[in-house]
Amino acid sequence: MAVDYNRKQMRYAQFYNAYVPAYVPAGKKVLDVGCSAGQLGKVLKEDKGCTVYGVDISLDAVRSAAGVLHAAAVMDVEQDPFPFAGHRFQVILFVDVLEHLFNAEAVLKKFQHYLTPDGVMVVSIPNVANVSIRLRLLMGRWDYTASGILDEGHVRFYTLKTMRALFHACGLQIKEQGFAPRYRCKRLTRLRPTLLANQFIFVLQPRVRTQD
Per-residue pLDDT tens digits for 128-154: 999 999 999 999 999 988 888 988 889
Say which CATH superfamily domain 1-11+25-87 falls into: Vaccinia Virus protein VP39 (3.40.50.150)
Q: Using 50, 70 and 90 to split pLDDT, how confident is the model at 105?
A: very high
pLDDT band for 73, please (50, 70, 90 cuts): very high
Cα-Cα-Cα-Cα dihedral of 166, 82, 46, 35, to 10°?
-60
Does the global pTM surpass 0.85? yes
Q: What is the pLDDT of residues 189-204, one digit of tens each?
A: 888 899 999 999 999 9
- Cα of first residue to Cα of last residue in the chain, in angstroms, is 26
Superfamily of domain 93-207: Vaccinia Virus protein VP39 (3.40.50.150)
The pLDDT value given to residue 77: 97
Would you list the domain boundaries of the chain? 1-11+25-87, 93-207
